[in-house]
Amino acid sequence: MRQLIIIGSGPAGYTAAIYAARANLKPLVVASSVEAGGELMNTTEVENFPGFPEGVQGPDLMTKMQEQAERFGAEVVYDDVTALDLAGSVKRVTLGSGRVEEADALIFATGSAYRKIGIAGEERLSGRGVSWCATCDGFFFRERTIAVVGGGDSAMEEATFLTRFASKIYVIHRRDELRASKIMQERAFANDKIEFVWNSAVTDILGEDAVTGVQLTSTVDGSTRELELQGLFVAIGNDPRTHLVHDQLELTAEGTIWVDGRSSRTSVPGVFAAGDVIDPTYRQAVTAAASGTVAALDAEHFLAALDEAGTPAPDADQIEGLPVL
């Protein structure tokens, strides 16, 4: 049996693996069969991860994180977790291959998925004008014409934030009114760089190597037209990847995994969670990495406190110095 299994190989999973491996816990990282490396594998330049003044390509950053974790003894397996049994003190993890792994502790770092529009060009032009993150990519659109798709608070927040960079921003919405809170709406309406395009759905993204425009289809009469622009920010929601633990771990109202205060402790002793799967707000590579560190330190403390029979000591989940919540 292993001491620690980490599920997920994004910045949270690999950072947890670096810390856990350096603590000699020999963690197994279940990296996923098709999405190893996490969301940054889908982007090009990352300019806001500290330590890379010239920027770094997303896939290069993730390869380096993996190498760093393996250098200290983390074992990476390219498979998916298909089932979890978290009930007992031994955590059971079933992989797509049918293999079952067991461990005393588990770190759940499966990230979250930005909702996609689901149209042609969206995947191909991801990182080439199509983005899901204004904080990450807004800087690339200085003095450009761009659009934000969505009608909720996050769409208004992204659009308002993007006015710092872009010269013109269309907000494209399927209906003729917004879901966003009154205050967010008013802020967006008051900004003269923002123009609303009502009753319209983006049905195609135009451009070979970079976005040059979008095709809009009217949700009222089905007519189509093209809008010239260089960037498209999709802000139609985000789904934390929690389906494996819905009935086993407590979730928050936002659908993220509940953790105890600033720690990574979930509602089940010995199970820790990190990264975007616990974060409804910040969702950045560096915050996910930091959260992976917290999870590894919490897991390390938990494991150190296990008694010889493998039963958690009464205070095994409590880190000294952190408030009891």
Ligand X SMILES: Cc1cc2nc3c(=O)[nH]c(=O)nc-3n(C[C@H](O)[C@H](O)[C@H](O)COP(=O)(O)OP(=O)(O)OC[C@H]3O[C@@H](n4cnc5c(N)ncnc54)[C@H](O)[C@@H]3O)c2cc1C
Cα 61 to Cα 59: distance, rounded to the nearest angstrom: 5
284 in contact with ligand X (CB under 6 A): yes
DSSP letters for 113-134: EEPP---TTTTTTBTTTEES-H
Give yes or no for residue 165 binding ligand X (CB under 6 A).
no
Could you tell me the two tokens for 53?
């003044």
Give 126 or 318: the residue with its C-beta nearer to ligand X: 126
Question: Site map for ligand X, 47-76, x if CB under 6 A?
Answer: -x----------------------------
List own/partner pairs for 189-196 with CB under 8 A and 24 or more apart: 191/159, 191/160, 191/163, 193/163, 193/166, 193/167, 193/168, 193/169, 194/159, 194/160, 194/163, 194/169, 194/170, 195/168, 195/169, 195/170, 195/171, 196/170, 196/171
Residue 79 among the catalytic residues: no
Establish if 13 lies at the interface with ligand X (CB under 6 A): yes
Question: Applying CB under 6 A, does 17 fall inside the site for ligand X?
Answer: no
Question: What mask, x for binding ligand X by CB under 6 A, covers residues 213 to 242?
Answer: ----------------------------x-
136 classed as catalytic: yes
Task: Name which of 39 and 104 has its Cβ closer to ligand X.
Answer: 39
Q: Which range in 36-44, 254-262, 265-273, 310-318 contacts ligand X by CB under 6 A?
A: 36-44
Note the helical H segments in 237-284.
none
Applying CB under 6 A, which of residues 30, 61, 69, 103 lies at the interface with ligand X? Answer: 30
Extract the runs of DSSP E, i.e. beta strands, from 123-276: 130-131, 145-149, 168-172, 194-197, 200-206, 213-218, 224-228, 231-234, 238-240, 271-273
Binding mask 96-115 for ligand X (x = CB under 6 A): -------------xxx--x-
- Does the footprint of ligand X cover residue 185 (CB under 6 A)? no
Cα–Cα distance between 320 and 325 in angstroms, integer?
Answer: 13
Longest dimension (CA), the chain: 71
Active site residue 137: yes
- For position 28 contacting ligand X by CB under 6 A, the verdict is no
Site string for ligand X, 77-96 (x = CB under 6 A): ---xx---------------
Q: For 168, which DSSP code?
A: E
* Nearest distance in Å: CB 270, ligand X: 19
Region from 128-136, 178-186, 202-210, 314-322 binding ligand X, contact rule CB under 6 A:
128-136
Q: List active site positions.
A: 133, 136-137
